[in-house]
Structures are given as structure tokens and as C-alpha cells.
Structure 1
Amino acid sequence: MDANRYALEVIPSPPVFPGAASPVMSDETLHCRLAAIIQRMQQQQIAQLIIYADKEHGSNFEYLAGFIPRFEEALLVVNQQGELTYIMGNENLKLVPFARNPGRCLHAPLFSLPNQPMHGEQPLDQLLTKAGIVAGERTGLVGWKLLTGRMFDLPHFICTAAAQAAGGEAQLVNATGLFISPDNGARCVNGADEVAFYEAGANLASTAMLAALDSVQPGVTEKALGAQLNAEGQPNTVVTIAATGERFAHARLYPSDKRITEGDRLSLTTGYKGGLTSRAAYVVSDVDGLQCHVSDWLTRLAIPYYHAVVSWLEHLRIGITGGELYALIETVLPKAHYGWHLNPGHLVADEEWLSSSICPGSAVTLKSGMLLQNDIIPSVPGYGGCSIEDTVGLADAALRDELANAYPDVWQRMTQRKAYLTGVLKIRLPEEVILLSNTIGYLRPFLLDKRRALVRQ
């Protein structure tokens, strides 16, 4: 890769859209989600589902319910007839009347917090039977990982109760793939209503990130940057990162009182439903500010990485296989030289990482309605990292027309982002690529220089 193909230029910052409204998905969308799950149950001959949720692992539950159980566990039982039963702890019983797909409610005090009242406690297997689990029927357990074989990621006491209610362990199958399999998971493809909902989170993350980048100066604390990254009181999908210098001192994951020093490496990350934005670079004004042992960082790491991101964006299209996209990154940014080891790209939804087909030899094709994060993480010993992770999507002509007609504000933002990418950054995007984040493709490698960014020549 010829480093002269990219250069630092004085350019305007990307447009941002603070204060954008957060759409509420329609009842029709939530009902369609339930229908999509039931269709997959029928295809795979699964008579009944037991869907697990807790605060960290609630997205498959939330996909149908519209909420998570906050700080307790919960179960949602679904059968092929579309009957739903919510099994809830003490402090989440009150949420069930607001469920987007209505169902009856059963009380499970054992899901409550330690030492809370256990009035009305019943064995969980009996509750599952009351919820409609029929013995002798094929029963799917839904956690949050695509495990193979007879493996389940639900707590053991729930698996035991499920086996008892279903008539034995032989009746249990891992059914998480109904939701998140990158080939045919219901949650992997979004309609216009869902794209508009998730765009709000991607817009929020990238708007907050640009504000934080503009505030980077020696003497600013990690906490000050973290406060800008945590926006509008919305729940984060990942731990917010504002880390200067060496990370993880005293096993600390969160922004601290440490102050930025010129010459530091700096990592910033924030994520909300539908999108994460991450940046990593050096706190210097130009290449002369880099310490001598990393003085070639721009050409050794940052520009090759940027070229990989540009290549990823320009080759992304409906119908490309995950294996083809993986091979592209292996060609332009060889793993052996640049140290990345995760999937170079993955699907995004309520959680930052849904699943990914982008792996060696994958024949799974990317489809209209998929939302993706360009998650390529180089790691070269002795050098600070470089990162410009953001969220994009794929939309065929029909989905683009629906977005433009039903969500003109969202579509206008997407149009402005694309105009910036093509007109200012000179990145040639396929027509079906839609942009949910504001900062896609925008890399300031030297964080004290707020005017210059890398641009293709």
C-alpha cells in the first residue's frame, strides 16, 4: 500500500446532529418481530421457547418485550401459537403491563435481589409448566451466545428447571440462533422502523465523540472526556472508555482523574443502541511530537489501517460474503504484520456486537437491512493503537425509499453524511451503503491538531 495515497489535509469536521429525536418503534414492528421468531420456530420444529434475560444479556428478550428486567433475571416463554408468558422477579412485575407484545405474568421471587421477600415462591419448573411449557415437546433455550452442541448459557438452575418442565434434557436445544445467527437470525435484518430507531443511537455516540475529540488538550481529565461521551442519560452498550497513557492501571476500566499529557496515546469509546464510536490516536500536534520509538507511527500503522477502513467501506455491498470481506482485510492489512485478531466487522443492534459472518471462508452473504460496525483493531507491539470505529448499514432501493418517505429527518442526516464522505474524504461508497454515524471515515491521527484529517489523494 502506497502511503502517498493518503495525506493530512485541513478539512471541515463532519456534520453532527445534536438533539435529534429518538423514534419509538411501532406496535406493528414489534408484532412482526414475534411473527419472525414463530416462523423460525416452525422451520426448526421448536414447539416452545424459554428466553432468558438479565441486565447485561437482555437483548433477545427485549426484542419481543420492548424492555429488559433492569437488575433482576427474567424469562419469556413463547409457543408457536404466539402465546407469551413473562416470569418476573419482585421489582419487574410492574413492567409486564407495558410489554410491546402482551402476555400474562407469573411471579418468580427467586429472580429478585438477595434477602427480598419470597412470598408466593414456587419451584421454577412448576412455574414453567404454568407458563405453558409442555412435557415431551422440543424446547428452545435462548441465551446470548451461538454455542454448538448441547451447550446453554443460561444459569444452571434455570436449565435444570427447563429440563424438568420439558420432560428431560433431551428435549432441550440451543435456540439463540433464531435471533442472532448471521445467516438467518431474525434480529440481523432490520426494517425502516428499526433502522431509524438505531440511527438515533449511532448519531448520539458519534456526536458525543466529536465533542470529546474537540476537547482533547493537555491537562484535561479522563473524567471530563467521559462526561462528554455519556450523553443524554442513555444506557451505554459498552463500558465508556476515556483512557490516556497506559491503560488498566490498578485494574481500572473507567475514566479516572488522570490528566492528559502531551505525547500520550489516547483511547475514547462510547456506544448506544444501534451504534458505537471509537477513536484511538496520539495527543500531539504533528509527527514531530511523537516519541522517537514511534516516530513512524503514521506511516507504519495509522495510514495502512486507514486504507483498510476505506477499502472495507468501498467494498461493502449487498451480496458480498463474510469470507470475501475478511479476505479483503487480510490482503490490505495482513494480520501477521498488524496484529488484529477479531472479526474485521460485525453486526450491531441493541448490543454493540450482535454476531458476525466476517470470518475466513464464510459463505454467508450480507443482506439489505443489516447494520455493521467497521471493527478493525490493529495491534503492533511498541505502538499506540489507531481506531475509527463507527456504524453503517446496507439498504436496497426499497428500504432506502421507505426510509426517505417515512423518516425524512433520518434520511436527510444520512444524505449529508454521505455527501461529506464522498465530497470531502473522497471515499467512494456503493449506493446501498447507508451511514448511521456522523464520524465514519474521519481520522484525526494527531489529536491536538483539530483541523487536519487523513484524506485520500
Structure 2
Amino acid sequence: KDHLSLRAAEIITSRIGASELVDLGEEIRRLRLIKREDEVDNLLRAAAITDAAGEEVFSRMHAGQTEVDVALMIGSVIGKLGGTLSFETLVQSGPNSALPHAKPSSRALAPGDFVLLDFGAAFDGYKADTTRMAVVGEPSAKHLEIHGLVLDAHDAAIAMVRPGVTTGDVDSAARGVIEAGGYGERFFHRVGHGLGLEGHEDPSLDPGSQRILEAGMVFTIEPGIYIPGFGGVRIEDDVVVEDDGCRVLTKADRSLRVITTH
């Protein structure tokens, strides 16, 4: 229903002689909610390609490249490693990194910039989604403070993930850390979303949401802090709920990378 045009619906009904089309979107979302073992294997493969691509890209980044340059490089490296893009890559530098989902621009990376990379590889249709951070040149105390706080929030959320807790509990774990650090008003999106054949599936980890986590669910954990005029930090990993907690599928270094200025 969300994606089928009226014209396509008319063609389908006329060709099969149907008098009514029934929306099965909710049932499909329910069926996708718990991943089979082979689906998790594909998601793990997508995550591994994503991790490897990120490592190569960070090693090749330098001041003077544009956001578009870096986005194109990410796509090229993912393809070389056997994946396809999960979604349009986000590369945001300096003040642009305070805009959570701004598209890559012609802005050149400059000393003192935060650089946010939000990207993912797909393997056999299954999508990974990760965000990692860098700074151009040596980081300031403020760079380190904000990155460290987001990483603490990220880890608190992951520690909360296990069967029986709610999606809202996971969001609250991350949000509480950021609020305690004095940046609560600068975290203004949900803490995560489901992954699978689509880049955004159920469950949605919104503040106060009450869906109970079950083994086999796969979703992102991605808290962030966004400061207008300065920049933003988001750290994102993909996790699968298991009987005794969760397993992190994306394993790349989450530290604040330093990009050369020359």
C-alpha cells in the first residue's frame, strides 16, 4: 500500500480478475521482525564488508577532499569488496555534521572538522548500516568530550539489549547518559531502527516505545549529539538479539579517527 501506485494496482486487478487488493504490509513486517539464522549470516557478511570498507576509506581520507569525493570512494570500495550500497551514503563535515541526514556536498574537509560517515554495504539483499566519526587534524577537548559521551550512550544502550526489555528501555539507556552529560536537547531522534532486506524495518526504538525485544530481532543502535555551528557525533552499530543478550554485527573501531591535514 505504501509503495504501489494506483496505475499498477489497476493493472494487477485487471489481469488477475481480482475485485479487491488487500494490504499485507503489516503481516510482512511481522514476518520480517525475527530473522532466521541464514538471514543473520547474510547480515553479518554485509557488516563485515562495511567494516572493511570503512577501514580502507579512513586510511585514504585527507583534508581537501570534498564530502562527495568521500561518498564516492565509499561506494567504490564497497563494490570492490563484493557488496552493494545499502542506501545513499552520508558524509557530513564541520557544521554539516550537526544535520543528522544531510546529503554529501561539495564542502571540502578542513582542519578542526568533525567528519561523520553513515554508510552500509548490502550482501545478497541484506543491509548493514553503520556510522563512524573522524576529526581533521588533532581533536580538541570539545571534540573528545562529545565523542566520548556519545560512545558511552551507545555502550549503555547495547548493554540494555536482551529479550524481555522494551525498545523504549534501550532508547532510555542511551538518552539518560546524554542527558546526564548536559546534551539532552541535542539528541533529537530515536536510538535505532530494524534492519534486514530494507534499511529501515521494525522494530523502531523510539522514546517510550513498548515493543518487547525477542531473540532474532536485528536493529541499529545510533545515539547522537548535534551542535549547530560546531558539528555532530553519531556512533552506530548493528546488533542481533540473542537468548542471553545481544551480538554486535559491525565490529569496526569506534574511536575518533584522526584524518591527516596534508
Class of the TM-score when normalised by the shorter of the 2 chains: 0.7 to 0.9
Alignment of 1:216 with 2:61, yes or no, is: yes
1:162 Cα deviation from its structure 2 partner: 5.8
Change (3 A) 1:373 1:317: same
Alignment of 1:303 with 2:148, yes or no, is: yes
1:193-342 mapped onto 2 (5 Å cutoff)? 193-222=38-67, 225-230=70-75, 231-232=78-79, 234-245=83-94, 247=96, 253-254=103-104, 256=106, 259-273=108-122, 274-287=127-140, 296-299=142-145, 301-334=146-179, 337-342=184-189
1:207 Cα deviation from its structure 2 partner: 1.3
1:268 Cα deviation from its structure 2 partner: 1.6
Cα distance between partner residues in 1 of 2:21 and 2:186: 40
1:435 counterpart residue number: 248
More strand by proportion, 1 or 2?
2
- Unmatched 5+ stretches in structure 1: 1-142, 144-151, 288-294, 397-430, 450-457
Q: Specify which structure has the bigger relative contact order, considering alpha-carbon pairs within 8 angstroms and separated by 6 or more residues.
A: 2
- Contact 2:157 2:171 (8 Å CA) reproduced: no
TM-score, normalised relative to structure 2: 0.79
Matched AA of 2:89: T
2:202 counterpart residue number: 355
1:208 Cα deviation from its structure 2 partner: 0.7
Matched AA of 1:376: P
Change (3 A) 1:339 1:309: same
1:376 counterpart residue number: 223
Cα distance between partner residues in 2 of 1:438 and 1:383: 28
- Contact 1:329 1:344 (8 Å CA) reproduced: yes
1:100-179 mapped onto 2 (5 Å cutoff)? 143=1, 152-160=2-10, 165-167=17-19, 171-179=20-28
1:229 Cα deviation from its structure 2 partner: 1.7
2:33 counterpart residue number: 188
1:205 Cα deviation from its structure 2 partner: 0.9
SS in 2 for 1:232: helix
Q: Which has the larger radius of gyration?
A: 1
Cα distance between partner residues in 1 of 2:234 and 2:171: 18
Cα distance between partner residues in 1 of 2:183 and 2:95: 24
TM-score, normalised relative to structure 1: 0.48
Divergent runs of 4+, >3 A: 159-166, 219-228, 242-248, 252-256
Matched AA of 1:323: G
- CA displacement, residues 145-179 of structure 1 (integer Å, 9 cap, x when unaligned): xxxxxxx4421223445677443xxx544321112
Q: CA RMSD in A?
A: 2.9
- Contact 1:281 1:384 (8 Å CA) reproduced: no
Change (3 A) 1:310 1:327: same
- Contact 1:237 1:350 (8 Å CA) reproduced: no
SS in 2 for 1:343: coil
